[in-house]
Amino acid sequence: MFIDFFYKLRSKGVPVSITEWMSFMEAIYKGFMGTSLNHLYYIGRAFLVKSEAYYDQFDLAFNEFFGGISTEPLDLEKVMEWLENPINKLPKLSPEELEEMKRTLEEMKEKMGLEEMLKQFRERLKEQQERHDGGAKWIGTGGRSPFGAYGYYPGGIRVGGEGWMGSAVKVAEERRFKNYRHDLILDVRQTKVALKKLRQLRREGAEEELDIDETIDKTAKEGGEIELVFAKSRKNAIRLLLLMDTGGSMAPYADLCERLFSAAVQSEHFKDLKYFFFHNCVYQDVYEDLWNAKPIPLEKVLATYHSGYKVILVGDARMGPGELFDKYGCIDYYYSNEIAGADWLKRIKNHYEYSVWLNPTPREYWRHPTVDAIGRQFPMYELTLDGLKDAIKALTSKVKRAAA
Amino acid sequence: MSKANEGYHGSADYIASKPLMEIVNVSVNLAKPLVIKGEPGTGKTLLAHSIAEALKKKLLIWNIKSTTKAKDGLYVYDTVQRLNDARFKDKDISDIRAYIKLGRLGQAFASDEQVVLLIDEVDKADIEFPNDLLNELDEMSFHITELNEEVAAKQRPIVVITSNSEKELPDAFLRRCIFYYIEFPDEQMMESIIRVHYPDIQDKVVRECIKKFYWIRQVDGLRKKPSTSELLDWIKALAMGGVNVDRISSELPFLGTLLKTEQDTEKVARVASGSSSGFRRRF
């Protein structure tokens, strides 16, 4: 039933699983869909979509799939008269009958599209002269015709019961959940949630958990004299080094970077978080402040923060090729670098086991010599929630990257 | 259809939207755990209270903390107590049962009547926590290793799980649940919520407060958006301070009740005075 809707959802990127689809089907067969598209919309959403991030995709799919129905001018008043208060309850169908019905539906689908079905529906509506319950052709309740409510017909069109039909489609059309999508830019809270995934648990700190095995062992050894043994609790051992570009071309993304920055600083679960800023490209100095007034030699950074730190570089990676590849290439005339930016980046990459580059510009604009060059050095991800998640996955993966 | 007519319809002190009611009913009838997500102050926890009250069932609350383990909800075997008792030999320690205490989930299973079990703020716990409960929630039974006994639910409890989305919940867990996201109330809904709490405050004041409140919420880049409870505090502060309506719109008094960090207060003040903020260094 509605299996096309399932594929429609998948094609929109809603990760619906078979388990979820089956429980949804169970709900339908048990008659919880009530009689309207609204039930189908809300209950379907509750069963099939497990994060508000996908509500928008669900709305889109729902609208595409069912939207056409409500725009058809059905004679609802008349239909509802028939449909109210079913005289006979749902017929108990054997699995074979269900199978047969599904087959019929498939045949029917092949024979005629949805439009054809609607046309038939309207024709039958015209033919139909009296209330009809049961049976397999007419619109009515409890029947097995593809049209009507309470029926068992898989894939059939449901005709609204409670008079809130149409509004589900309207809700879907409104796309109120657009802002919850994951592939849009992040807010601070979402970013914090994503950063929570960045962790490695190690036992350290004060010994506060009772280690039962050890306690029993020790007590037995002491001949029954109770000896309590405590173990250290598990804590996140992630150390993070954040390097952010504050260059001019980053200005349009300032807000976005600010959010990432706030989230990282507010996250309290890191063992250590250090952040530095750079301008366009990293040279021999990075800066402790946004205004590049307090330089600190990169050499010192590399020496102070050992290779266990995970490194996130944030920048658009877009600059004049000279700024990246040439000695003395820095855009600031008063600053001279004897080693090219690309070499400094290589040193960062070689020093740290895990490093990623987050790029706030959308992927489709990445084609640029310096972006490509940096992308070959560091795994590069978009600065969106999905991109951030992938980046964090890369930072915590157990498999070491092959050295470039 | 008959099923939707009985069952949950909200309770006296809780206004549930129609879709939410439907979903509560489906989850009750299909015995599937219901995961409720939403911003702070949208009434997630209250929903469970309301369901329990409306359906006249006992409510068991399992508050999740960062240190909570899945096993705590099933049962705790108090080994230390038993060891201690063994040492002083003043109690009968042969009955292991005396040292096994059922947790909230265990109590819900063991109860003779159907109960409503609220697992509150499930996202506070470790990321793996919900996965550890998968089997128990699926089968509605668990095994007590120490007794070699199976505890199976006499009546499948109605399980309501709330999440503040501090952490994401694992997919495998969500697949087995019904999910509902409570949207932040719109202005109209907010007004009726305020009316429930403060029936005596002037309409004009309430409306002005709501207007300002939603304006502050849409200010870009706030660290913590004010929620319903902060709005209620604010209105109370304004009412007690006897501030008149014009001042509310012009100078936002008692802003501290709405915004809890200095940066946010500054930001709102800045936006209110018309200049923009920035992380920008140079252009």
Domains and CATH numbers, chain A: 3-179 (no CATH), 206-236 (no CATH), 237-396 (3.40.50)
- Identify whether residues B70 and B6 lie together within a single domain: yes
Residue of A nearest to B177 (CA): A47
Q: Nearest residue on chain A to B84, judged by CA atoms?
A: A226
Contacts of B262 (CB under 8 A, 6+ apart): none
Within a domain: residue B164? Answer: yes
Query: Beta B100-102 vs B149-152: how paired, if at all?
Result: unpaired
For residue A190, give the nearest of A368, A380, A385, A362 by alpha carbon. Answer: A385
Of A151-160, A277-286, B208-217, least confident by mean pLDDT is A151-160
Residue B75, H or E segment: strand B75-77
Q: Are B109 and B215 in a shared domain? A: no
B63 touches chain A (CB under 8 A): no
Cα atoms found within 13 Å of the Cα of residue A178, Cβ hemisphere only: 7
Given a contact cutoff of 8 angstroms between Cβ atoms, the answer to whether B155 and B58 are in contact is: no
Question: Which pair of structure tokens corresponds to residue A266?
Answer: 């507010």
The reply to whether B92 and B193 lie within a common domain is no
Do the beta carbons of residue B238 and residue B213 sit within 8 Å? no
Segment A175-189 shows an average pLDDT of 57
pLDDT confidence bin for A79, thresholds 50/70/90: very low
Final residue of a domain: which of B136, B158, B182? B182
Q: What is the pLDDT of residues B215-273, one digit of tens each?
A: 888 877 677 788 888 888 888 888 887 777 777 777 777 888 888 777 788 878 777 77
Sort A84 into a burial class: Cβ within 10 Å, 0-12 / 13-18 / 19+.
Answer: middle
> Tell me, what DSSP letter sits at residue A279?
B
Percent of chain B whose predicted confidence (pLDDT) is above 70: 92
Could you tell me if B177 and B194 lie in one domain?
no
Q: Please indicate, yes or no, whether residues B172 and B198 belong to a single structural domain of this protein.
A: no
Number of domains within chain B:
2
Q: Which residues contact A29 (CB under 8 A, 6 or more apart)?
A: A152
Pairing outcome for strands A272-278 and B149-152: unpaired
Q: How far is CA B84 from the centre of its chain?
A: 38
Q: Residues 6 or more apart from B88 whose CB is under 8 A from it? A: none
Nearest to A42 among B19, B127, B174 (CB): B19
Helix pair B18-30, A18-29: axis angle to 10 deg = 100
Task: Collect all residues with Cβ–Cβ distance below 8 Å to B278 and sequence separation of at least 6.
Answer: A254
Length of chain A in residues, anyone? 404
pLDDT in tens, A204-263: 555 667 777 888 888 888 777 777 787 776 667 788 888 888 776 777 777 777 777 777
Mutate to test the interface with B, among A51, A185, A200 (most CBs of B within 10 A): A51
Number of H helices, E strands in chain B: 14, 9
A364 DSSP β-pair partners: none
Q: Which of B175, B179, B221 sits opposite A258 (nearest CB)?
A: B221
Residue A104 binned pLDDT confidence (cut-offs 50, 70, 90):
low
User: B229, exposed or middle or buried, with CB in 10 Å at 0-12, 13-18, 19+?
Assistant: exposed
| CA A120 vs CA A106, A137, A216, A237, A392: distances in Å | 16, 11, 77, 66, 54
The residue segments making up the domain with residue B124 are 2-182
Task: Give the number of beta-carbon pairs within 8 Å between A and B.
Answer: 108
pLDDT over 90 for what percent of chain B? 7
Residue-wise DSSP of B153-214: -SS--EEEEEE-SSSPPPHHHHHTSEEEEEPPP-HHHHHHHHHHH-TTS-HHHHHHHHHHHH
- In the numeric block, which tokens belong to residue B160? 């309501």
Band of pLDDT at residue B4, cut at 50, 70 and 90: very low
H and E: helices and strands count for chain A: 16, 9
Nearest by CB to residue A52, choosing from B25, B32, B37, is B37
Residue B8 shares a structural domain with residue B95: yes
In this structure, what CATH number is given to the domain that contains residue B130? 3.40.50.300
The highest-confidence range among A28-32, A51-55, A106-110, B179-183, by mean pLDDT, is: B179-183
For A199, the closest chain B residue by CA position comes to B127
What are the φ/ψ torsions at residue B41 (nearest 5 degrees)? 85, 15
Domain match, B134 and B208 both: no
Give the C-alpha separation, B97 to B194, whole Å.
50
Q: Which of B172, B184, B185 is nearest to B33 (CA)?
A: B172
Residues B27 and B99 in one domain: yes
In order of B210, B222, B235, the CA distances from B260 in angstroms are 18, 10, 16
Output DSSP code: residue A403.
Answer: P
Report pLDDT for A105: 55
Instruction: Pick the residue from chain B with its C-alpha nearest to A234.
Output: B67
Q: Does residue B282 lie in a domain region?
A: no
Domain identity same for B44 and B60 = yes
Task: Quote the minimal CA–CA distance from A49 to chain B in Å.
Answer: 7
Closest CA to B162 of B33, B31, B27, B30: B33
Count of other CB atoms within 10 angstroms of residue B280: 17
Q: How confident is the model at residue A89 (pLDDT cuts 50, 70, 90)?
A: very low
Of B188, B190, B150, the closest CA to residue B42 belongs to: B190
Separation CA A174–CA A177 (nearest Å): 9
Last residue of a domain, one of B127, B152, B182: B182
> Are A281 and A319 contacting, i.e. CB atoms less than 8 angstroms apart?
yes
Residue B17 in tokens: 């939207």
pLDDT of residue A143: 39
A312, A240 in Cβ contact below 8 A? yes
Residue B281 lies in a domain: no
Contacts made by residues A264-270, CB under 8 angstroms, sequence distance 24+: A264/A191, A264/A195, A264/A240, A266/A188, A266/A192, A266/B223, A267/A192, A267/A195, A267/A196, A269/A196, A269/A199, A269/A236, A269/A238, A270/A198, A270/A236, A270/A238, A270/A239, A270/A240
Same domain, B26 and B61: yes
Q: Does residue B102 share a domain with residue B65?
A: yes
Closest CA to B263 of B223, B204, B212, B215: B223
Residues 6+ apart with CB under 8 A from A360: A250, A253, A256, A257, A314, A316, A382, A383
pLDDT > 60? residue A325:
yes
Q: Which of B228, B149, B150, B161 is nearest to B194 (CA)?
A: B228
Higher pLDDT, A154 or B101: B101
Out of B87, B180, B220, whose CB is closest to A46?
A: B180
Instruction: Determine which of A41-50, A134-143, A182-191, A302-311 has the lowest per-residue pLDDT on average.
Output: A134-143
Tell if the CB–CB gap between A248 and B278 is shorter than 8 Å.
no
Best residue of B17, B26, B76 to probe chain A, by most A CBs closer than 10 Å? B26
Last residue of a domain, one of B130, B158, B182: B182
Strands B75-77 and B100-102 turn out to be antiparallel
Which residues contact residue A75 at a Cβ distance below 8 angstroms, ignoring those fewer than 6 apart?
Answer: A122, A125
CB B124 within 8 A of CB B166: yes
Per-residue confidence at B274, pLDDT binned at 50, 70, 90? low
Given this model, what pLDDT does residue A35 score? 55
Does the residue B25 lie in any domain?
A: yes
Q: Determine, yes or no, domain membership for B40.
A: yes
pTM above 0.95, yes or no: no
The verdict on a CB contact (< 8 Å) between B280 and A251 is: yes
3-state secondary structure of B103: coil
Asked if B169 and B239 sit in the same domain, the reply is: no
Distance CA A20, CA B166 (A): 24
CA distance B230 to B257: 6
Domain assignment of residue B280, yes or no: no
Judge whether B42 lies within some domain: yes
B-interface mutation test, from A25, A47, A55, most B Cβ less than 10 A away: A47
Q: Is residue B201 part of a domain?
A: yes
**Which pLDDT score is estimated for A141?**
40
